[in-house]
């Protein structure tokens, strides 16, 4: 059992095999998987309950954009057979209910310490162990540290002048009040038109007296076509669940069931293309749309055909031509920023109580006591402001933890020019620290839970390998890490992704290094690579054992 002893000052010192940072989907599966190997584990979670992203993001309309039968754990067939998803796409409350069910069903809660934020993590190179400290005064020693802290878990409110003077209420999508917000009769602003903004805007518009949407960059959005779960579809899916999950390993997005495209968009006639895009538009969903042709994400001319199809749809839906033109994205290829899925988003701009404000041409200058002022001097009177302004993505959560080694290295310094990892799983110079779906991993470009399970299983097998050989230290070689980073960049550069100012590139955070962070070579290629690395004796990693053990 973990050993808890007292330190001077009354702080508890705990010894673990694995300290896990985060109690969301990744942290919970890590507990289950690693505890199942007989390891002593504990997860530290800043929130007052489990769930991570789905615990925090409670804004109106929050819903997953991956279908519910896919966006769920695969590790237990009983679980996936028994759980009933009521709709095609899971709502935030439904997904949180599912996560809580999993936590109870697999008795995971006893190894989650809630309301506890990890503040620092220091690797002791003599003992080959991490020491973590928390904001509650805990000191935790662990052989391994698993960072399951999320990619979109550090909400960001832009540094607008005057925000402290605002007399109304303001909210961020990722820090939503648990008892909800009633916007009835209020003059509301939503700033930001990414996935969060696009989901909440139609709902807030129905409540508010007036809604101003402050848009800096128009985003492409496709209809989700959410609907109650079709019982036949559910039955067919469940009859085939394990095979579908296995088949997902051989797809770029970790989701099976989308026929692989066979030709370039430029090989199809304009009529054929239009019919194909129309069929995908009617079907709903983003992956299927981007998978219509082989080259939508790699060839600008091919991409233009899909982008223009969606722009035409927007022009067809939005009645005011000026608003429609502002909503029609023209500054990035479709799919190079996260493609949004919506329910009635563009239609919302036909309402009399909704106004779109272009803050690209007239930026927000300050928040005032009574609202918001743009650079041109236009004043907007507001009772509430909603920031749907995103997150310090992919590196933000780790940047908030002071991660160091006793040799004097700091992760913040190492990543000052952009994150460096081997396989997205480990960082050279920071032994025994695993990252789940971090930079350099395909996680955020896939069905996230599939990536979480794949990463965690790989980590668990690696730890088992070390135990069999009585090894207590692993880290990637600098050469393997450099080669992986180069490969991640080369793959990104062979696509259209770098053409967009997205959070994939850190572009939404002023001053953040402009480095493309996810691996976009596909989940299939990534998994094959991880499997080959393990099969080749963990190629690119160095193992060792030191006489000193965790003291
Ligand atoms: O954040 P975002 P998000 N002045 O960064 C704007 C996942 N997710 O929370 O593009 C004015 O995408 C910013 O403008 P610009 C999903 O992976 C999934 O919406 O930087 N505007 C942009 O419009 C998603 O991609 C789901 O010019 C400012 C917006 O704020 C990721 O989370 C649901 C500004 C931020 O968009 C993040 O989505 C929700 C400023 N100073 C989220 N600063 C589903 O599964 C920023 N903006 C459906």
- List, for residues 467-491, the tens digit of each pLDDT value: 999 999 999 999 999 999 999 999 9
Which atom of ligand 1 is found nearest the CA of 66? Answer: 45
* Distance (Å) of CA 277 to CA 32, 212, 269, 369, 535: 42, 31, 12, 47, 42
pLDDT digits 0-9 by tens, 211-255 = 999 999 999 999 999 999 999 999 999 999 999 999 999 999 999
What pLDDT does 2 receive?
Answer: 42
What pLDDT does 59 receive?
Answer: 98
CA of residue 159 to ligand 1 center, whole Å: 16
| pLDDT for 287 beyond 90 | no
Specify whether the CB–CB gap between 56 and 178 falls below 8 A. no
How many helices (H) and strands (E) would you count in the chain? 17, 23
| pLDDT for 3 beyond 60 | no
User: Does 374 contact ligand 1 (Cβ within 6 A)?
Assistant: no
| pLDDT for 416 beyond 90 | yes
Of the candidates 463, 460, 411, the one whose C-alpha atom is nearest the C-alpha of residue 438 is: 411
Q: Which domains does the chain have, with CATH numbers?
A: 4-154+393-544 (3.50.50.60), 163-387 (3.50.50.60)
Distance separating alpha carbons of residues 307 and 333, to the nearest angstrom: 7
- 115-142 burial: b if 16+ Cβ within 10 Å, else e: ebebeebebbeebbbbbbbbeeebbbbb
Percent of the chain residues topping a pLDDT of 90: 95
What pLDDT does 8 receive?
Answer: 43
Q: The tokens of 310 are what?
A: 């969606």
Of the candidates 13, 17, 34, the one whose C-alpha atom is nearest the C-alpha of residue 129 is: 17
Specify whether the CB–CB gap between 452 and 437 falls below 8 A. yes
pLDDT digits 0-9 by tens, 526-547 = 999 999 999 999 999 999 998 7
User: Does 388 contact ligand 1 (Cβ within 6 A)?
Assistant: yes
Q: How far is CA 109 from the centre of its chain?
A: 23
**SS3 helix, strand, coil % of the chain, rounded to 5?**
35, 20, 45
User: Does 150 contact ligand 1 (Cβ within 6 A)?
Assistant: no
Name the residue at shortest CA distance from atom 43 of ligand 1.
389
What pLDDT does 14 receive?
Answer: 84
Average pLDDT over residues 39-43: 98
Confidence of residue 12 (pLDDT cuts 50, 70, 90): low
> Which stretches of 388-430 are assigned E, i.e. beta strand?
402-405
What pLDDT does 259 receive?
Answer: 87
Average pLDDT over residues 90-116: 98
Specify whether the CB–CB gap between 109 and 50 falls below 8 A. yes
pLDDT digits 0-9 by tens, 56-90 = 999 999 999 999 999 999 999 999 999 999 999 99
pLDDT digits 0-9 by tens, 325-344 = 999 999 999 999 999 999 99
pLDDT digits 0-9 by tens, 164-213 = 999 999 999 999 999 999 999 999 999 999 999 999 999 999 999 999 99
**pTM reported for the whole predicted model:** 0.96
The mean pLDDT value of the chain amounts to: 95
| pLDDT for 1 beyond 60 | no
CA of residue 390 to ligand 1 center, whole Å: 4
Counting Cα atoms < 13 Å in the Cβ hemisphere of 504 gives: 26
CA of residue 186 to ligand 1 center, whole Å: 23
End-to-end CA distance of the chain: 16
* 21, burial (CB in 10 Å: exposed 0-12, middle 13-18, buried 19+): buried
CA angle 496, 501, 505 (to 5 degrees): 80
CA of residue 194 to ligand 1 center, whole Å: 4
């Amino acid at each position: 059992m973990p050993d808890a002893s007292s330190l001077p000052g009354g702080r508890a010192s705990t010894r673990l095999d694995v300290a896990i940072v985060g109690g969301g989907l990744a942290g919970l599966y890590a507990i289950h998987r690693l505890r199942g190997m007989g390891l002593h584990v504990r997860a530290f979670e800043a929130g007052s309950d489990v769930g991570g992203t789905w615990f925090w993001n409670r804004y109106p309309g929050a819903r997953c954009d991956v279908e519910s039968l896919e966006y769920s754990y695969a590790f237990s067939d009983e679980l996936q057979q028994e759980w009933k998803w009521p709709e095609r796409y899971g709502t935030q409350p439904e997904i949180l209910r599912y996560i809580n069910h999993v936590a109870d069903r697999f008795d995971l809660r006893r190894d989650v310490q809630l309301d506890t934020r990890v503040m620092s993590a220091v690797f002791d190179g003599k003992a080959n162990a991490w020491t973590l400290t928390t904001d509650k005064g805990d000191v935790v020693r662990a052989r391994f540290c698993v960072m399951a802290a999320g990619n979109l878990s550090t909400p960001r409110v832009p540094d607008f002048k005057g925000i402290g003077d605002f007399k109304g209420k303001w909210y961020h999508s990722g820090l939503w009040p648990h008892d909800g917000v009633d916007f009835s009769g209020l003059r509301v602003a939503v700033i930001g038109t990414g996935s969060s903004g696009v989901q909440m805007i139609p709902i807030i518009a129905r409540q508010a007296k007036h809604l101003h949407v402050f848009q800096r960059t128009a985003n492409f959005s496709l209809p989700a076509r959410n609907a109650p779960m079709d019982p036949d579809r559910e039955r067919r899916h469940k009859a085939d669940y394990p095979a579908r999950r296995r088949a997902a390993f051989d797809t770029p997005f970790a989701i099976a069931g989308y026929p692989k495209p066979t030709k370039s968009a430029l090989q199809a006639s304009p009529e054929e293309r239009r019919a194909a895009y129309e069929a995908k538009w009617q079907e709903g969903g983003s992956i299927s749309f981007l998978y219509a042709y082989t080259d939508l994400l790699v060839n600008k001319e091919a991409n233009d055909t899909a982008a223009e199809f969606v722009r035409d749809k927007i022009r067809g839906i939005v009645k005011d031509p000026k608003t429609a033109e502002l909503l029609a994205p023209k500054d990035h290829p479709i799919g190079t920023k996260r493609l949004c899925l919506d329910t009635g988003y563009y239609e919302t701009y036909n309402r009399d109580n909704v106004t779109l404000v272009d803050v690209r041409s007239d930026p927000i200058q300050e928040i005032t006591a009574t609202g918001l002022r743009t650079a041109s001097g236009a004043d907007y009177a507001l009772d509430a402001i909603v920031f749907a302004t995103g997150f310090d993505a992919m590196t933000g959560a780790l940047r908030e933890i002071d991660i160091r080694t006793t040799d004097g290295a700091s992760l913040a310094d190492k990543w000052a020019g952009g994150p460096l990892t081997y396989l997205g799983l480990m960082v050279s110079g920071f032994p025994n620290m695993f990252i789940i779906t971090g930079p350099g991993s395909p996680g955020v470009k896939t069905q996230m839970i599939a990536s979480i399970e794949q990463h965690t299983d790989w980590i668990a097998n690696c730890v088992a390998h070390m135990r069999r050989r009585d090894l207590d230290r692993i880290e990637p070689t600098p050469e393997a890490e450099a080669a992986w980073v180069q490969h991640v960049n080369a793959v990104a550069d062979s696509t259209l992704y770098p053409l967009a100012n997205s959070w994939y590139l850190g572009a939404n955070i002023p001053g953040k290094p402009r480095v493309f962070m996810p691996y976009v070579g596909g989940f299939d290629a990534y998994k094959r690579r991880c499997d080959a690395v393990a099969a080749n004796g963990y190629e690119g990693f160095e193992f060792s054992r030191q006489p000193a053990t965790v003291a």
